[in-house]
Structure 1
Amino acid sequence: MKTVFSPLHAGHSGQMELVTSAIVPGFEKPSRAEFIKARVESEKLGPIIGPAEHDLTAAKRVHEAHYIDFLPTVWPEWVAAGFTGSAMGFTWPTRGLRGDVPPKRVDALLGYYSFDAGATFVEGTWAAIKSSYDVALTAAALVKGGERTAFALCRPPGHHAGAAFMGGYCFINNAAVVAQWFRDQGAKRVSILDVDYHHGNGTQEIFYRRGDIQVLNLHGDPMVEYPFFLGHADERGEGEGEGFNINYPMPFGTNWDGWGASLEDACARLAAYAPDVVIVSLGVDTFEKDPISQFKLKSQDYPKIGRRIAKLGLPTLFVMEGGYAVEEIGINAVGVLTGFEDH
């Protein structure tokens, strides 16, 4: 299995985020990707290659063009306005406020284009976002070219980013980008299997009214877990998309028995859909020691995930998402990949 990786991810470093009652250093840090890369190397998973450069056309197939055009301007405008520290919004156009008129100030625009203050900017953030996008498309091309699988070691992650909003450490939705890219390359149907602890609200929002891209999410119950405002079991798609959005919200403390049963059901539904390619939004924050999550999977469970996905017998692209217990993130993420390879 080839891994695609860019060192430019490290430019997104030292950013702050708003969590309940405090502004703290970002949990989404460069060491996450470096631990995974080191584990890929130590396990001899396969070659690690750099990404090819891509323009932003593929991003604008799933995101609003004005949103994508905004992202590279954030840090220069933040500095020009005389602001210091991490660039983050502080005002959001919620119910009763106008969301149809973008303001002109960068701090206000950050609120306009986000749903939380977790996707913040420092000087190297845009270069990292772009490199993560390039990594995903380069890995997708490997699968399109005939590889059974590939691993896009993306950082920052993407699955919380919607058509015109960022949040949850996510700016461009890499899984959504490559799903649309496969469709544009001739795939009739694509499935996205999101195994991250947190619901992939951005992915759901982008494809909710479409039947050509199936979205399956295994995640913490949004009644009590971030991102709170999507991810319920009754959200099954609308119009042409009805029945093609499938959520598996689970309670705090879920271990392999409950989580694995949801995975089994999701894989059965995926197989019945019969996609041409599977994209796995690979989050490993389901781990029992993850600092911001509440599931109880153990390191020995992650190869089981890979083996079950491999049983589908479909071309599969793994796209890295969350996981914040950094000392074990490499063991767990690469465990999924070696489980897939060993099947």
Structure 2
Amino acid sequence: MTTPGTQVVAAASTAVVTCPSHVGHAPSVEVQCGRAIPAFDTTARVDAILTALAGRPEVTLTAPGSYGLAPIRRVHEAGLVEFLRTAWASAEPPRDGIDLVFADTFFHDRLRQGMGPLTHGGGGALGRYCFDTITGVGPSTWEAAAASVDTALTAAELTLRGAPLAVGLCRPPGHHVGPELFGGGCYLNNAGIAAQWLRDGGVSRVAVLDLDFHHGNGTQALFYDRADVLYASLHGDPERHYPYFTGWPDETGAGEGSGCTVNLPLPPRVGGDDYLDLLDTATGRILDGGFEAVVVSLGFDTYDGDVSGDAALTTADYRRIGRHVAGLGLPTVALLEGGYSVTVLGDNLWSWIEGFRAEQGERP
């Protein structure tokens, strides 16, 4: 499917799909440990990237197309999608004087212990579908999240049309969203939707390589029992880091998907050499499995000093990581996830792209 916003990109340049509607999601705060703190995921993140990429002849900035709800519904349950579409308008109590609504009561499986599954709607829908207090919903959050999906799908389409790499500046990010739960500052799973879209477009086996500092619990849940989509993640150890309840090495998939989930927790203050050793394990699984395309959940919260993690990667390390991913020799869709050191975020992304392009140029 070709959409009006999609451009044919010259082989010599790398497509970077923009996400203009991301500005509609502008959270002022998130709540951690009961404290309202300045939100990590600000509009300044994308602004910094666009500034760093401006004028680079190696990059072609590309507008996203429009793909509608069908690809979203291929991955997410109807109840979650409908809730997100109407969450702000239906929020209770009234929204006077606030720019975000947060869950304050959460559905827990033991809340109804012995009573069977929940079949009623109830007034606490936000706490039914959201699993944390980090993720508020604002008046244009749905529109921004849906546009972020369009950005991911446009990048995926470009790879189907022959681009070796397409980058999507997705915001809000997405890898914490499962079939019917959202959180972690994410609302729709951009990488998961893109992976399924590639499958529906004829790619027989897709790998999702998650390089965000935090475990992509949502992406793992989407594909945990499937053999056609591999999920491999390098992330902060759940003993220390969000989302705490997923991401251990013994989570390897279930049923037909047994062995198709790879979790590689990072040691504290991991540096480039050790990180690349772990990355080699993940990419080795991708190569051994005969996968035909890779979707990268590309987070830069592994940067030394990032407020949300304890890794110690440098801008130069991202160039090495980009080269390593390019070494797979597979069509690659790279989608922005986290990364909150705004002053270096654009340089870090460019370093990753530059490394990928360098390796690509050296391949026969």
Query: Scaled by the length of structure 1, what TM-score is found?
Result: 0.96
Q: Is the 8 A contact 1:102 1:112 kept in 2?
A: no
Residue 333 of structure 1: aligned partner: 349
Cα shift at 1:79 = 7.3
Is the 1:283–1:320 contact (alpha carbons within 8 Å) kept by the matching residues of 2?
A: yes
CA deviations 1:219-248 (Å, max 9, x no partner) are 000011100000000000000000000000
Residues 1:87 and 2:101 aligned together: yes
1:226 aligns with 2:242: yes
User: Offset of 1:306 from its aligned partner?
Assistant: 0.5
Gaps of 5+ in 2: 1-13, 360-364
Partner of 2:43: 30
In the TM superposition, what whole-angstrom CA distance separates every residue of 1:111-167 from its partner, at most 9, and x where no partner exists?
Answer: 100111222112221111111011111111111111111001100000001110110
Deviation at 1:273, TM superposition (A): 1.0
Q: Is the contact between residue 15 and residue 121 of structure 1 (CA under 8 Å) also seen in structure 2?
A: no
User: Comparing 153-162 with 327-336, which one deviates more in the overlay?
Assistant: 327-336
| Counterpart selection for 2:274 from 258, 278, 281 | 258
- Alpha carbons 2:27, 2:136 under 8 Å: kept: no
Preserved CA contact (<8 Å) 1:192 1:280: yes
Instruction: Give RMSD over aligned pairs.
Output: 1.4
Unpaired segments ≥5 residues, structure 1: none
Return 171-180 or 90-99, whichever deviates more: 90-99
Runs of 4+ in 1 over 3 A off after TM superposition: 42-45, 79-84, 101-104
1:78-117 matched pairs, under 5 angstroms: 78=91, 81-82=94-95, 84-85=97-98, 86-98=100-112, 100-105=118-123, 108-117=124-133
Quickly say closer, same or farther: Cα 1:15–1:78, change in 2 above 3 A: farther
Paired residue secondary structure (2:26): coil
Q: Give the 3-state SS of the residue equivalent to 1:293 in structure 2.
A: coil
Matches within 5 A, 1:217-296: 217-296=233-312
- Identify the residue that residue 139 of structure 1 maps to in structure 2: 155
Aligned length: 341
Taking a change above 3 Å as real, the CA distance of residues 79 and 306 of structure 1, as seen in their structure-2 partners, is: same
Instruction: Find out whether 1:67 has 2:80 as its counterpart.
Output: yes
In 2, the alpha carbon distance for the partners of 1:70 and 1:21 equals: 25
Q: Which amino acid aligns with 1:210?
A: R
Distance 2:227 2:28 in 1: 38
Give 1:16 shift.
2.2
Alpha-carbon distance in 2 for matches of 1:56, 1:14: 24
Partners of 1:12 and 1:224 in 2: CA distance: 29
Whole-Å separation in 2 of the counterparts to 1:37 and 1:82: 33
Contact map agreement 2:269 2:310 (CA 8 A) in 1: yes
2:20 is the counterpart of 1:4 = no
Shift of 1:191: 0.2
Which amino acid letter does the alignment assign opposite residue 45 of structure 1? E
1:40 equivalenced with 2:53 (yes/no): yes
Residues 69-102 of structure 1: per-residue CA shift (max 9 Å, x gap): 1111011112784454211101111241136235
Alpha-carbon distance between aligned partners in 2 of 1:251 and 1:165, rounded to the nearest angstrom: 28
Partner of 1:317: 333
CA drift at 1:172: 0.4
Q: Which moved more, 1:148-157 or 1:76-85?
A: 76-85
Alpha-carbon shift at residue 271 of structure 1 (Å): 0.7
- 1:1-60 Cα distance to aligned partner (Å, 9 max, x none): 111112110111134211124012211110111111221224433111111111111111
Inter-partner Cα distance in structure 1 for 2:295 and 2:183: 21
SS at match of 1:135: helix
Q: Take 1:254 and 1:318, find their aligned partners in 2: how far apart are those partners?
A: 22
Q: Distance in 2 between matches of 1:35 and 1:11?
A: 17
How far off is 1:257 after superposition?
Answer: 2.2
Secondary structure of the residue aligned to 1:292 is coil
Alpha-carbon separation, structure 2, partners of 1:83 and 1:162: 31
- Mapping of residues 89-238 of structure 1, within 5 Å: 89-98=103-112, 100-105=118-123, 108-238=124-254
Q: Alignment partner of 2:295: what SS? A: strand
The code of the aligned residue for 2:139 comes to E
Secondary structure class of the residue paired with 1:97: helix
Secondary structure of 2:231's counterpart equals: strand
Partner of 2:65: 52
Alpha-carbon distance between aligned partners in 2 of 1:83 and 1:201, rounded to the nearest angstrom? 34
Looking at structure 2, the residues matched to 42 and 115 of structure 1 have their Cα atoms a distance apart, in angstroms, of: 41
What pairs up with 1:294-309 in 2 under 5 angstroms?
294-309=310-325
Q: Which amino acid aligns with 1:66?
A: G
